[in-house]
Structure 1
Amino acid sequence: MVRRIDMAGAGGVRLAAWEFADPPKGKREGEPVPGALLLHGLMGRAAHWARTARWLSATYHAVALDQRGHGRSGKPAEGPYTLDAYVADAEAAVERLGLAPAVLVGHALGALTAWRLAARRPDLVRALVICDMRASAPGERAQRAWEEWFASWPLPFPTLADVRQWFGEDDPVLERPRPARGDYFAEVMAERADGWRPVFSRRAVRMSREGWVYDAHWDELAQVRCPTLVVRGPDGELGRAEAQEMVRVLPHGRYAEVPEAGDLVHYDRPDGWRSAVEPFLESLAR
């Protein structure tokens, strides 16, 4: 069962949230079911969490959110696409869907959104899973490299096979083929009159990235008081030393590494991802 839930986010922006499995019933009649909100990264969409949401749904009312500018959610031309707007949307989702206190699971920008919400509204957040997001600022050089890469996409793609080929094999930034990466980007394309183009707003993506790439986020991280798992892949954006420093800064931080994973840890290595995250979630129940 897949169910779409439409709701209003900050400033009235339309948000689409998704259940990819039926929520579990409480062990006793009337017993509340714990909630989980899954937040994708920049250029992602809620569907990237489908496998995770399905196994989480054995225990949690798991909901994945298409964040503003992405997926089936609203894409206002002028935004705002600030960190505060993303956090306010996540806050609205937790409250309006009755998920609090929720486990927040975030990838990249979604992870930053999650820990900023946990720092701002600790009453809404039970625990965090942070996947492949740095607390330090990538900076100007990284932003220029990203802009050049973003502009290099050979749009429109003639077919979905071409999408998979370019992102999984032909993209110059790849050191080796990554078929899962090709599949990941194929999920964020839609067929238009001239070929396949992203379902997200490219302008929104640029504006969103500019909102966080020049700033460090250690202060907000240190304010997170709930149990937090920091997960990385050896080939991802988050280095081991920085990830372990993030764990040290967190009052209740833990560390996990998924072997052979890149930056799309949950999508690239779903079994390793589950093996890393599930014991952490089980420890919350204990």
Structure 2
Amino acid sequence: MVRRIDVTGAGGVRLAAWEFTDPPKSGGEPEDGGGRPGALLLHGLMGRASHWADTARRLSATHRAVALDQRGHGRSEKPAEGPLDRTAYVDDTIAAIEQLRLAPAVLVGHAMGALTAWQVAARRPDLVAALVICDMRASALGAASQREWAEWFRSWPVPFATLADVRRWFGEDDPTLERPRPVRGEFFAEVMAERADGWRPVFSRRQMLGARETWVRDAHWEELAQVRCPALVIRGLDAELGRAEAQEMVRVLPRGEYAEIPDAGHLLPWEQPDAWHRAIEPFLRSVVAHP
């Protein structure tokens, strides 16, 4: 089951949060938390809360699992004038943890969502019990990376005539792909909406590029070192975060742990969902047992 909960983010921006639970037993109503520790799941750039459905449902056995549509994404407000900077995303996440009464929460973040998670943990350690950092680099990526993203956004053949076209382009035809990745096609199909002229992304590519600009040129090691809670850094062997950098992140984190998943890239929770859960579940159990 899933239910929507509205959250008021920084500056009054309306955010949509989604609580995932197993169906109630014997026809009863779902419990509101049930005394379980909170878990907030944060998607990456261009993602949405629904991408976390499988992870959230599995976590709901032990945690009150909530996924957040971050500003500019999914069903949350997309303020035309922003801001979509680091401060806004961090403040929104703090507001969500406090309003949903999840603290101290486990933060599970993918890519940009992982950066937000460790920035929240560094700033408000009282709100965070543990982190799962999935495929996010602490090093600066630089101006060249931003130019490549701008070119990639321009290459999208928008509008797409059908969802099948979305799946095929992002999973097979995208010139940045080294080999077909069907899961990637499914991932992007979920962030498209049908308009009068075809299928278009639910976000603004201009805004996404602007949001990325606020963190891509900077390194984030100092904030990582300020995280005091247990933190699991997890990557796929074919992911954007390399092994050497991931292990250095674990070294910098005062209570860092490391895991990697074979046959997985940037979208590892969706490419290898069972292996992903086998990696994160023992870590989360240890956090509950030894906070």
Q: Same fold (TM over 0.5)?
A: yes
Superposition deviation, residue 31 in structure 1: 7.0
Which amino acid is the alignment partner of residue 212 of structure 1?
W
Q: Does 1:9 align with 2:6?
A: no
Contact 2:17 2:69 (8 Å CA) reproduced: yes
Superposition deviation, residue 151 in structure 1: 1.1
Structure 1 portions without partners, runs of 5+:
none
Cα offsets for 1:86-119 (capped at 9, x unmatched): 0000000000000000000000000000000000
For the residue of structure 2 that corresponds to 1:42, the secondary structure is coil
Instruction: State the match for 2:118 in structure 1.
Output: 115
Matches of 2:281 and 2:34, distance apart in 1: 22
Instruction: State the match for 2:87 in structure 1.
Output: 84
Matches of 2:218 and 2:56, distance apart in 1: 31
Contact 2:149 2:209 (8 Å CA) reproduced: no
For the residue of structure 1 that corresponds to 2:74, the secondary structure is coil
Superposition deviation, residue 32 in structure 1: 2.6
Matches of 2:125 and 2:34, distance apart in 1: 22
Matches of 2:34 and 2:57, distance apart in 1: 21
For the residue of structure 1 that corresponds to 2:15, the secondary structure is strand
Contact 1:24 1:60 (8 Å CA) reproduced: no
Instruction: State the match for 1:223 in structure 2.
Output: 226
Matches of 1:268 and 1:45, distance apart in 2: 17
Superposition deviation, residue 23 in structure 1: 9.5
Matches of 2:82 and 2:112, distance apart in 1: 16
Contact 2:133 2:231 (8 Å CA) reproduced: yes
Q: Does 1:214 align with 2:217?
A: yes
Superposition deviation, residue 227 in structure 1: 0.2
**31 and 178 in structure 1: CA distance in 2 versus 1, 3 angstrom threshold:** closer
Matches of 1:131 and 1:125, distance apart in 2: 16
Runs (4+) of structure 1 exceeding 6 A deviation are none
Superposition deviation, residue 201 in structure 1: 2.2
**221 and 24 in structure 1: CA distance in 2 versus 1, 3 angstrom threshold:** farther
Contact 1:188 1:198 (8 Å CA) reproduced: yes
Which amino acid is the alignment partner of residue 196 of structure 2?
A
Structure 2 portions without partners, runs of 5+:
26-32
Which amino acid is the alignment partner of residue 15 of structure 1?
L
Instruction: State the match for 2:284 in structure 1.
Output: 281
Contact 2:237 2:263 (8 Å CA) reproduced: yes
Q: Does 1:242 align with 2:257?
A: no
Q: Does 1:178 align with 2:181?
A: yes
Q: Kindly, what percent of the aligned residue pairs are identical? A: 75
Contact 1:36 1:61 (8 Å CA) reproduced: yes
Matches of 2:89 and 2:24, distance apart in 1: 28
Cα offsets for 1:41-78 (capped at 9, x unmatched): 00000000000000000000000000000000000011
Matches of 2:136 and 2:187, distance apart in 1: 18
Q: Does 1:53 align with 2:95?
A: no
**Equivalent residue in structure 2 for 1:131, among 129, 134, 142:** 134
For the residue of structure 2 that corresponds to 1:262, the secondary structure is coil
Instruction: State the match for 1:195 in structure 2.
Output: 198
TM-score by length of 1: 0.96
**197 and 31 in structure 1: CA distance in 2 versus 1, 3 angstrom threshold:** closer
TM-score by length of 2: 0.95
**Equivalent residue in structure 1 for 2:165, among 162, 166, 171:** 162
Contact 2:132 2:233 (8 Å CA) reproduced: yes
Instruction: State the match for 1:150 in structure 2.
Output: 153
Instruction: State the match for 1:18 in structure 2.
Output: 18
CA RMSD of aligned residues (A): 1.4
Contact 1:189 1:197 (8 Å CA) reproduced: yes
Matches of 1:227 and 1:38, distance apart in 2: 16
